């Protein structure tokens, strides 16, 4: 499921509520006891100068360990996850040496190490190229087919949101919930972003020609 909306609409706050790192001002948040949840943050919130390698950074995601050093089994699990994500050869690289797409894969590896039932991702395609974005969408589809529920936020209406099975349009409240075709429509997007947008259908998929950012500036939507 994807969550779309302008800056300040509450997308990241929604994820924090689901993680229970924020307290709702009204109402309650309920969840299934014992649900394994993993979180992939926005890349821009990370200190990339922190002195760790890729494998060390992923190992830090271990939970429930009494010992400070990893076991042989844990190291093998990290190697397996890194290989699955196509960054096994980068295990000994410093994290600041990675490209945007590689950095995102590393954080997905951290999440997968927890064997999550629910994966929360905050703007996972920001700062990555088109190839990395497509690879990530394929990976998320595989994880979902394996039984992992996924909720991600995105500003990328064409490159990401249009390819997701279900979307939530958010603007401090839920504007609409539905399929990509239902949500990526001129009427719903105008109610969500507060500005008119032109939407066409191409090969059975909605395509946003132009949209407005939080400052009201018109620009080409990501392809």
Contact present, 1 and 151 (Cβ < 8 Å): yes
Q: pLDDT digit string (tens) for 67-118?
A: 567 888 889 999 999 999 999 999 999 999 999 889 999 999 999 998 999 9
pLDDT tens figures, 106-152: 999 999 998 999 999 999 988 788 888 888 899 999 999 999 999 99
CATH level 2 (architecture), domain 1-35+117-223? 3-Layer(aba) Sandwich (3.40)
Question: What are the boundaries of each domain within the chain?
Answer: 1-35+117-223, 45-115
Other CB atoms within a 10 A radius of the CB of residue 163 amount to 17
Residues with Cβ within 8 Å of 72's Cβ and at least 6 positions away in sequence, in order, are: none
Please measure the distance between the N-terminal and C-terminal CA atoms of the chain and give it in whole angstroms.
20
Strand 37-40: give its sheet, edge to edge.
37-40, 118-122, 149-154, 2-4, 167-170, 174-178
Give the pTM. 0.84
């Amino acid at each position: 499921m994807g969550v779309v909306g302008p800056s300040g609409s509450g997308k990241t706050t929604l994820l924090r509520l689901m993680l229970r790192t924020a307290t709702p001002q009204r109402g309650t948040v309920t969840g299934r006891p014992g649900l394994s949840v993993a979180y992939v943050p926005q890349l821009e919130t990370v200190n990339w100068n922190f002195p760790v390698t890729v494998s060390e950074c992923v190992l830090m995601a271990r939970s429930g360990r009494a010992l400070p050093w990893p076991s042989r089994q844990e190291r093998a699990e990290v190697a397996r996850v890194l290989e699955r994500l196509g960054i096994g050869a980068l295990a000994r690289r410093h994290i600041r040496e990675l490209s945007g797409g590689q950095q995102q894969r590393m954080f997905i590896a951290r999440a997968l190490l927890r064997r999550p039932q629910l994966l929360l991702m905050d703007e996972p395609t920001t700062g990555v190229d088109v190839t990395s974005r497509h690879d990530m969408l394929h990976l998320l589809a595989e994880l979902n087919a394996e039984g992992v529920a996924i909720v991600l936020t995105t500003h990328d209406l064409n490159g990401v949101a249009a390819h997701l099975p279900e979307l939530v349009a958010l603007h401090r409240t839920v504007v609409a919930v539905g399929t990509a075709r239902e949500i990526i429509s001129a009427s719903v997007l105008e109610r969500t972003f507060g500005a008119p947008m032109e939407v066409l259908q191409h090969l059975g998929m909605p395509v946003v020609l132009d949209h407005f950012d939080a400052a009201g500036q018109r620009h080409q939507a990501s392809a």
